[in-house]
Structure 1
Amino acid sequence: MAIPFGATWGTLIERCEKLPADATLITPLASKRFRITDVQEQRIIIEDVDSGDSQPLQREQFEALAEHTREAIDGYELSRLPTQAEPYAAVLALHPRYVLDERENTLSELEEADESAVLDDAPHLSMTANADDQQDSEREEPEIDVYSDMLLLIDALEREDMSALESVETPVLVNLYTLLSDVQRNANDLRKDVADVLLERVGHDRPVHGQYGSVQQTTRRNRSLKGDEDVLTAFEGTGIDREQLLGVDRDKVEEALDVVSVAESDVYDVSESEYVRKAEVDEERKETRLQGLKDRLAVSDNPEADVLRQEVERLEQEIEELTEFSPGSTFGEQAESG
């Protein structure tokens, strides 16, 4: 039985009222930033961060979007929304029963509200005002090995023609190989540290998205062969000749397990460990982010902008060289007129 929208609306209003005043939401397709400035009985008022324009989001249009989402088997396709209606999806996704999937570009309704959902983890919501601007203005050189190694490597890559390695002199190749090895080792160490922290925050149920990709928790199954005597004892009386297992060769044990009913746990010490794996990388988003930085720098008169411009150019090179991866509804019509 569908939950009356009145209850949904009440929860949504409560969520909006609990947001910090400087919380910024982002529309799912156009990536426009806006803030909630007022919550009223029948509407929610938002303000575009860049233009300052105000827009009322009406309750009845939220109800229409919720109905369309409920009827959509695989989630409501956000591409069906007119641009002016995108804020409705971003705001409705604050409700613990609705999920905004930026990879599939859909809005879905859960069978049960996810009360454990943390707003800070929502990819379309920033809890800090002007987060991007603050990060850009407060940039500091991190005191980690991989950063210095990468700067050296990027500088080396910019000086040579990487499309013709055969023509590069041996000392230069030695430098490149050394730097690549250092970057790989230190980046992997940092990656493991980041993964350990993410492991506490990422669940098995669904991926967590960032600007450039997503991660999800999965389970790796590990097996190690028990001692020789344990293995030989496990196969006693099964018809498997003891000599076949002497030395307890892993391949021989596997062959034996295929033909007799010996429990795997009698032969192997089996353990499971949790880890975070890379789900995907959004190269287009990375390029867009860099282009946005370049556009802002192009109109800046700040002397420090020259330094940042050079760093952006190096980052572009880094992405190219070092990256591993590479129905029309009534609601839509109402939103355009609202």
Structure 2
Amino acid sequence: MNDDAWSELRSQCDTIESGAELVTPLSERPFTVDSIEADRIVVRFGDSDETRPLWREQFGVFDDQLEGQAMAIDDLQPGVEPYAAVLTLSAAYTVDDDTIVNAPANATGGESPFLVPAAEARTPPERVHDDAVLLAHLIDRLEVDEPSALEGLATDSLTDYYVLASDVQRGADGIRTGARDELLERLGPDQELHGHFGTVRRTTRTRRQPKADETVLAALDDRGIPREWVLGVDSRKLDVVLSVTDLSADEVYDTTEDVYVQKIGVDEDEKYARLQGLANRLAELEDAEGEPLRDELEEIEERLEEALTAT
């Protein structure tokens, strides 16, 4: 790889936005650019925290192989995948029909199908954290201190309030499920585990589902129990009858309607931009003006810790 191409590739890696990551084309292992040296680009894999140098001379070999021809992504070897992902950041290469091609006219430097923007690269816990920060900021800004305060909100603010609350609930439920599975590995029968904020224990709920019709009916017959005692209307079969006859649904169904608000879209880019704005504002508080706020937060944490340890 000549000096100009190597310099351009290093420059593209240097301009990757903070928090963004690359993924290997086939195995889809996420990695980030850890450092950029004169003769190598060091990457760090997110699934193992392993660091690996990608050498300039190896980029040169790959570059020579692609000279005047395309390479199918499916043909990439595991060791070559990180090189391929990084190389597609170059202004000389692009991906077309699952192949990497040397096509400067169609390539855009810094863009790659294997580059994941920072907003999308966040882990589920990070997304919950960010959504909770946005929701807390919105509650504070709108002064939503009780349900009656919602009546005075503008419609767009109320919509944002609902969407963020929904995202926090959904995200928190996802990470709660992961924590539950891990706790079940640590909890024995009748055992309780205590944390600073609460206590958990193993609970067993029994759910019953009828066995196959033939099994159930045979058991009833063996004991002389009339089948009519358990036979009922099967709604699935009833729907089939409605679709092939002139029977009206009103004749066989009592219908009720539940009205609710459905979230049909989330602007993640706008949320992330607002979050970055909050981060910048928090960074500005690193001076003396922010010292009282930090002291207050530390005092609250100390009081909370003392109260919890005293119980």
TM over 0.5: no
Q: Which has the higher contact order (CA 8 A, sep 6+)?
A: 1
TM-score if structure 1 supplies the norm length?
Answer: 0.39
The TM-score with structure 2 as length reference comes to 0.42
Q: Flag the structure with larger Rg.
A: 2
Task: Name the structure with the higher strand share.
Answer: 1
